[in-house]
Amino acid sequence: MGLHGKHGEEGFTLIELLVVIAILGLLIGLVAPAALRQLGGARTSIARQSIERMGQILDLYKLDVGSYPSTDEGLQALLTRPTDAEMWNGPYVKDAHPLLDPWNHPYIYRNPSDRPGHDYDLCSAGPAGHGDDPAQQICNP
pLDDT computed for residue 1 by the predictor:
46
pLDDT computed for residue 66 by the predictor:
92
Mean pLDDT, residues 12-16 taken together: 85
- Contact between 47 and 102 under an 8 Å Cβ cutoff? The reply is yes
Domains of the chain (ranges plus CATH)?
27-139 (3.30.700.10)
Burial of 116 (0-12, 13-18, 19+ CB in 10 A): exposed
φ, ψ for residue 122, nearest 5 deg: -130, 110
Strand-by-strand arrangement of the 121-124 sheet: 108-110, 121-124, 138-139
pLDDT computed for residue 67 by the predictor:
92
C-alpha span between 12 and 21 (Å, rounded):
13
pLDDT computed for residue 31 by the predictor:
77
C-alpha span between 98 and 46 (Å, rounded):
11
- For the stretch 32-86, pLDDT in tens is 777 666 666 788 888 999 999 999 999 999 999 999 999 999 999 999 898 887 8
What percent of the chain stands above pLDDT 90?
30
pLDDT computed for residue 48 by the predictor:
92
pLDDT of residue 3 exceeding 80:
no
pLDDT computed for residue 132 by the predictor:
64
Q: Between 35 and 16, whose confidence is greater?
A: 16
